[in-house]
Amino acid sequence: MKRLTVAVSPCPNDMAIFGAWILGLAPDAPRADFVFLDVENLNEAALAGRFDIIKVSAAVGLALGESCRILPSGAAFGLGVGPKLAVPAGAQASLRPDTVIVPGLLTTAAMLLRAALADPAVAALPGIPRQDAAFLPVRYDLVAETAAAKGNAAALLIHETALVPERHGLRRILDLGRWWDARTGGLPLPLGCIAGRAACGDDVLHAVSRTIRTSLDAALARPRAVLPLIRAMAVEKDGDILDAHIKAYVNDLSRDMGPAGKKALAALAAMGKSPDAPLPVLGESWYRPVDESA
């Protein structure tokens, strides 16, 4: 097997899932060169056809078409939790921000927020941005400080920063995980997934899927072995915050999304077909290279 190029984000859940593979602790793992990129850079790289294996926002994964397959392992699903919309702590509730600082226009979080702003129940909440609010993309770890500096701008928070908006002078006004939960009747929220280049072939994608599962199992069995890597890559260094973030987005669906994950992706694809969606959804492209009975 050729040496693979693998691109993931430095966020705690990716490091928890891929950490053992990165550190050489996953038995029989394919040889790979790892690259760590911001979520929006990952999305852009996937659309450009770079890398053999790549973490992408679920919204982008559903738009890659036949060039890639969504692997059953390594995904980030929220179970009643998700990205948070926040405003500066001192902002008046009567003000409706005309700008939202977002961690990328291609992210699942941005797609969800567009849909939520069109929901009359959300629009009626105090301090919610106008439906025609401008989305200003910045790197995910700069979202909070950019919104705080602007004053009358909302912040769309992802990764571990979403757990501590108050540390950045912000207060939460909407949890998109809870909104999705109510909107879909309790489906898991697909935020990110792993895409594999179809040209790699089924055998390679089989091996990668198995390795992701092995890597996650190794991290769960020896959490202290991967913790230094997780902390080194994270924006928030507090151990409790890192633990809370990993517990929120690394779960059984990360090991194998199964029917529940596929149903959730289908629901996201349906939502993405609205006129306000940032990307076209080209149909089902997920891929199940690992037999469920294995």
Domain boundaries, given as residue ranges, for the chain: 4-78+188-272, 84-184
pLDDT digits (tens, 9 = 90+) for 74-87: 999 999 899 999 99
pLDDT digits (tens, 9 = 90+) for 84-130: 999 988 777 778 999 999 999 999 999 999 999 999 999 999 999 99
Min mean pLDDT across 31-35, 51-55, 128-132, 165-169 is at 165-169
pLDDT digits (tens, 9 = 90+) for 57-73: 999 999 898 889 999 99
Joined together, the tokens standing for residue 68 give: 């890639």
Please tell me the pTM assigned to this model. Answer: 0.90
Nearest to 72 by CA among 255, 268, 201, 220: 255
Determine contact, residues 13/158, Cβ cutoff 8 Å: no
Q: Which CATH number fits domain 4-78+188-272: 3.40.190.10, 3.30.1330.60, 2.40.160.40, 3.40.50.300?
A: 3.40.190.10
Crossing angle of helices 12-22/239-249, nearest 10°? 90
Q: Check if 4-78+188-272 and 84-184 are the same fold.
A: yes
Asked if the model's pLDDT at residue 284 lies above 70, the reply is no
Taking the C-alpha atoms of residue 294 and residue 292, their distance in angstroms, rounded to an integer, is 5
Taking the C-alpha atoms of residue 230 and residue 239, their distance in angstroms, rounded to an integer, is 10
Tally of CB atoms within 10 A around 222: 14
CATH node for 84-184: 3.40.190.10
Taking the C-alpha atoms of residue 228 and residue 272, their distance in angstroms, rounded to an integer, is 37
